[in-house]
Chain A
């Protein structure tokens, strides 16, 4: 069974940092593009970042460029999102998502909530 389990969310002040983690199991993690997609409370979906199977290619939405860094450790079947200089508008549930290619988002975790507030 495919499982993606996010952790690391919580309440942080504006300007602060958080590191999200995603533990993957039940599929060939090293064969998949991995992404972070977020959803602000009561709002729609927004793709944030993704990383190629070997980590050689990464993409980000403009609003997080220079502040967020996506990375992966295939030996640990884990995906990460380092979030710096957090803003109120970064408040959302962050989903870890996997897919065999970079086009779609096939399997999703349950998400972890990040709240940015003073």
Chain B
């Protein structure tokens, strides 16, 4: 099973700041990695697939990068609705696995 480790666990930032979230895989997942956003009381929403492609309707301030074992989700100029929990997910092996999440909170 591929283990995904996200860091930091919590990121305290202000609206307008830039956020950089990390996801590290226990073995190479090539670019088979997605990012999800989950707001309180809501189901997750796919943001990024293929490590760097934005899903339909996702604003351009969200970007993904990386390959192999190290990945980053960057959110430029945080909007109030961006304060949420973010998960990465690998799709190269069964079982599909998620990271433990990074909470982006208002400082």
Contact = CB atoms under 8 A, between A and B. Distances in A.
Contacts of A103: 32, 34, 49, 91
Contacts of B94: 59
A44 B49 contact: no
A68 B32 CA distance: 27
B43 A109 contact: yes
Contacts of B99: 44
Contacts of A62: 1, 95
B101 interface: yes
Main secondary structure of the interface of B (DSSP, over half): loop
Interface string B86-105: 01010100111111110000
Contact of A47 (B43, B98, B100): B98
A104 B90 CA distance: 8
B43 A110 contact: yes
B46 A106 contact: yes
B62 interface: no
Residues of B in contact with A, size category: 20 to 34
Interface in A44-69: 44-47, 50, 59-62
Contact of B95 (A59, A95, A108): A59
Nearest to B98: A45
A36 to B, nearest CB: 11
Contacts of A37: 44
A61 B91 CA distance: 13
Nearest to A108: B43
Contact of B97 (A47, A104, A110): A47
A84 B56 CA distance: 37
Interface of B: 1, 32, 34, 36, 38, 43-46, 49, 55, 87, 89, 91, 94-101
- Please provide the 5 A-B residue pairs with the shortest distance between their CB atoms, ordered closest to farther: A103-B91, A108-B43, A47-B96, A45-B98, A61-B95
Given A44-B100, A104-B49, A108-B45, 13 more contacts: A44-B98, A44-B99, A45-B38, A45-B44, A45-B87, A45-B101, A59-B94, A61-B95, A95-B43, A105-B34, A105-B44, A105-B89, A111-B43
